[in-house]
């Protein structure tokens, strides 16, 4: 069944609304009154449409954050204008009506409600204050649980056996999907212990991030076969939530069984027998019966502790194996649940602490192309600015031409943009139902947009390349990479200043950076530079000479040579001269290198312009020899380090290699023997374990400071703190 678009009927008929106005209402007030009524009906219609797209068709056109904005605008207007109250408003209902033509309809014995939202600590405190006022006490404990982004389900058990599974539907009536839910391997069909004669539990069916990736990879392979047979390809799954919902609502349970569905039980719905008196005890009881309950739930006895727990989840969300869009906070005492009751579609005893949205919808203005340091042509999206993941996003990556064609992304499309943590924003895909006629398929340019050299696309590769090694864009990007944190770590030398130095002919390549000191006066004369900025830049360039050889090899920007390969090469050859003289066969023989990398490294060192660069660097006395890793001794001898989370400037192998070189041992888990935990972004449970054991914790900046001090010889032997 096709859902009616909001554009097809901007608002429902207003004929049934009150037509009379208070006698004292002015023309201006009357106009505002009518505008509010029209906007309320427009919002109701739009939300109903998007509810159907989301809950029934599993093809949402807007992000959760965009839906939240529509819903909260409607709720606010209805509160300001109670004369327009309607029992049929989406603010009074949950989800969407069940699909009667496919599944039998189930009436929920107790309604499946929807949670109200808060978006920060203050919002959570306001919710707590309202609840405390209603029950005349504020000393209640609360339970926090990850809000898994999946499909809500209600499960009825009789005599310990699963007898019914139903979707939430509109909150009162759902779809009977029992055969499909039985295919979930982690869901017990028969319970252990002594459960009540008949009771209901509620949970979330979901697909993990790793399983979702495998599903789309399998679909890509299947599509390749379909194209060979002349069949149209099937679109990739949009997100894990849609993949889970689609699997649960398959007509054939054998199709559901093919999907990697998982389930987490988060609540007791109702029971015909005795059950524990608190939500926290219920979770332990459900786990003892054999249910997989929501992972990492915790009980908080104070409001401050609850707020702190919710806020601590924000940077950790991406480390978890499933999509989550917030934390559910529930009052622990079930007696208080009954006392507080519900308002509209929401319980007063629970609320969702929503994270900053990781996805949003916006318009793709243009698909542009830049040239990377290796000559690769990299398409990217220029977007209508949109707030997502805690930042305003104007551009996003599009990977390559094949990926654009696979997702069918076109300029002018309304697209879904995702920004997870600090990861570069990416375009997930287009909202095809909102595509305008005439949108053209993207094709990679035939000539380099920087130097107009014809581009080539090597056989078997997804990327097209500019083969002109003198291309201005390649030169610019190459120097930016050289100065980056993972490379020579020249603080303050960013894109803007590299552009200026190139335009003023003060440098031609990265080697010329080390000849800038005699040109200090000319640099100081540049706009917005000055004496202090120039001195800081020159000092940073001078300090970079002491960077390890592995960092220099990585900084050279050799194709296929990342930080880990650079570390392998320098530890094997020991110095730049030996590496530069190595044959392709010698390089390929190194474990972890292989023929493709070997050919790339050998070709790079054979190029005359690259040999000149190495000569400049050697003459500038940049570090050209690798320090051998110490098997014994060293300033960190006898100390165990553990590394967790994502680091921006170094790979984990680099970090561990540097620490081993200084004598440290590397542990895989935090124990009492651990001396220091290196904690990057999204550190997970290891950070909490280290805090509980009172173990020293370094962030990335502390680690970099310590390693710099070691390079400069300024840290005392045996020291374990920067």
Point out the residues that are catalytic: 147
What are the b/e assignments for 203-220, b being 16+ CB within 10 Å?
Answer: bbbbbbeebbeebeeebe
Which pair of structure tokens corresponds to residue 132? 């405390």
Give dist(CA 716, CA 279) in Å, integer. 53
Q: Which residue from 679, 628, 671 is spatially nearest to 652, judged by alpha carbons? A: 679
| DSSP reduced 3-state for 386 | strand
Which pair of structure tokens corresponds to residue 352? 């969702």
Distances in Å between the Cα of 263 and the Cα atoms of 80, 176, 181, 404, 586 are: 40, 17, 9, 33, 51
| Element holding 137 (H helix, E strand) | none
Angle at 272 between CA 268 and CA 277, to 5 degrees: 50
| DSSP reduced 3-state for 248 | helix
| Element holding 232 (H helix, E strand) | none
Which pair of structure tokens corresponds to residue 698? 């370094």
The number of CA neighbours under 13 Å toward the Cβ of 633 is 4
3-state secondary structure 601-614: HHHHHHCHHHHHHH
Which pair of structure tokens corresponds to residue 620? 């500038």
Report the greatest alpha carbon distance in the chain: 95
Helix, strand, coil content of the chain in percent (nearest 5): 40, 20, 40
DSSP E strands in 287-430: the ranges are: 298-300, 324-331, 342-343, 346-347, 350-354, 359-371, 377-388, 391-397, 414-418, 426-430
The number of CA neighbours under 13 Å toward the Cβ of 410 is 13
Residue 644, φ and ψ in degrees, nearest 5: -145, 155
Q: Which residue from 165, 264, 160, 158 is spatially nearest to 207, judged by alpha carbons? A: 264
Give dist(CA 551, CA 252) in Å, integer. 55
Which pair of structure tokens corresponds to residue 85? 């109250």
Angle at 590 between CA 589 and CA 593, to 5 degrees: 100
CA dihedral 565, 567, 572, 573 (to 10 degrees): 100
DSSP 409-472: --TT-EEEEE--TTSPPEEEEE-GGGPPTTPPPP---SB-TTT-PBEE--TT-S--EE--TT-H
What are the b/e assignments for 577-608, b being 16+ CB within 10 Å?
Answer: eebbebeeebbbebeebeeebbebbbebbeee
Q: Which residue from 157, 255, 163, 259 is spatially nearest to 205, judged by alpha carbons? A: 259
Give dist(CA 336, CA 135) in Å, integer. 8
Strands 414-418 and 359-371: antiparallel
Give dist(CA 232, CA 223) in Å, integer. 8
First CA to last CA distance, the chain: 64
């Amino acid at each position: 069944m096709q859902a009616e678009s909001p554009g097809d009927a901007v608002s429902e008929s207003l004929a049934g609304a009150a037509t009379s106005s208070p006698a004292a209402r002015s023309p201006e007030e009357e106009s505002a009154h009518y505008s509010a009524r029209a906007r309320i009906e427009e919002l109701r219609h739009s939300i109903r449409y998007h509810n159907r797209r989301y809950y029934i068709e599993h093809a949402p056109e807007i992000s959760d954050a965009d839906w939240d904005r529509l819903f909260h605008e409607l709720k606010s207007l209805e509160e300001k204008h109670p004369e327009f109250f309607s029992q049929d408003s989406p603010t009074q209902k949950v989800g969407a009506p069940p699909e009667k033509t496919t599944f039998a309809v189930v009436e929920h014995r107790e309604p499946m409600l929807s949670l109200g939202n808060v978006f920060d600590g203050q919002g959570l405190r306001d919710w707590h204050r309202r609840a405390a006022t209603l029950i005349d006490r504020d000393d209640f404990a609360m339970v926090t649980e990850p809000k898994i982004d999946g499909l809500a389900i209600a499960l009825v058990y009789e005599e310990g056996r699963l007898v019914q599974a139903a979707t939430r539907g509109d909150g009162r009536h759902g779809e009977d999907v029992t055969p499909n839910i039985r295919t979930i391997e982690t869901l017990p069909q028969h319970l252990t212990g002594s459960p009540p004669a008949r009771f209901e539990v509620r949970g979330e069916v979901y697909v993990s991030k790793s399983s979702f990736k495998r599903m789309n990879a399998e679909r890509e392979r299947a599509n390749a076969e379909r194209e060979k047979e002349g069949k149209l390809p099937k679109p990739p799954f949009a997100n894990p939530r849609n993949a889970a919902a689609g699997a649960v609502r398959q007509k054939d349970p054998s199709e559901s069984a093919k999907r990697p569905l998982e389930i987490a039980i988060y609540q007791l719905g109702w029971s015909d027998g005795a059950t524990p008196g608190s939500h926290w005890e219920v979770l332990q009881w459900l786990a003892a019966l054999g249910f997989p309950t929501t992972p990492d739930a915790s009980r908080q006895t104070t409001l401050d502790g609850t707020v702190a727990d919710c806020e601590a989840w924000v940077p950790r969300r991406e480390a978890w194996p499933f999509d989550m869009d917030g934390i559910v906070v529930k009052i622990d005492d079930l007696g208080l649940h009954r006392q507080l009751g519900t308002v509209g579609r929401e319980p007063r005893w629970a609320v969702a602490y929503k994270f900053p949205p990781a996805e949003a919808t916006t318009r793709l203005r243009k698909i542009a192309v830049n040239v990377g340091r290796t000559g690769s042509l990299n398409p990217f999206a220029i977007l209508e600015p949109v707030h997502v993941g805690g930042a305003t996003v104007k551009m996003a990556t599009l990977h390559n031409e094949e990926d654009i064609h696979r997702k069918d992304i076109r300029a002018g499309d309304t697209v879904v943009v995702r920004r997870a943590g600090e990861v570069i924003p990416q375009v997930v895909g287009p909202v095809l139902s909102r595509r305008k006629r005439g949108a053209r398929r993207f094709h990679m340019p035939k000539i380099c947009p920087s130097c107009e050299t014809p581009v080539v696309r090597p056989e078997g590769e997804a990327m097209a390349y500019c083969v002109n090694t003198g291309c201005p864009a390649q030169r610019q990007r190459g120097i930016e990479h050289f100065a980056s944190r993972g490379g020579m770590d020249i603080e303050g030398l960013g894109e803007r200043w590299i552009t200026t130095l190139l335009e003023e002919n003060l440098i031609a390549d990265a080697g010329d950076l080390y000849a800038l000191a005699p040109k200090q006066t000319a640099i100081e004369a540049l706009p917005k530079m000055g004496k202090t900025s120039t001195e800081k830049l020159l000092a940073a360039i001078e300090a970079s000479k002491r960077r390890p050889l592995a960092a220099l090899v990585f900084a050279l920007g050799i194709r296929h040579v990342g930080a880990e390969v650079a570390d392998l090469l320098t530890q094997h050859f020991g110095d730049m001269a030996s590496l530069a003289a190595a044959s392709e066969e010698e390089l390929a023989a190194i474990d972890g290198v292989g023929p493709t990398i070997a050919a790339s490294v050998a070709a790079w060192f054979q190029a005359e312009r690259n040999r000149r660069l190495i000569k400049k660097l050697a003459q500038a006395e940049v570090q050209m020899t690798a320090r051998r890793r110490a098997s014994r001794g060293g300033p960190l001898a006898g100390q165990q380090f553990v590394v967790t989370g994502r680091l921006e400037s170094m790979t984990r192998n680099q970090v561990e290699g540097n620490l081993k070189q200084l004598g440290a041992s590397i542990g895989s888990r935090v124990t009492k023997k651990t001396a220091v935990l290196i904690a990057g972004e999204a550190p997970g449970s290891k950070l909490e374990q280290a805090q509980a054991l009172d173990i020293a914790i370094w962030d990335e900046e502390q680690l970099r400071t310590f390693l710099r001090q070691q390079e400069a010889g300024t840290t005392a032997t045996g020291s374990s703190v920067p």
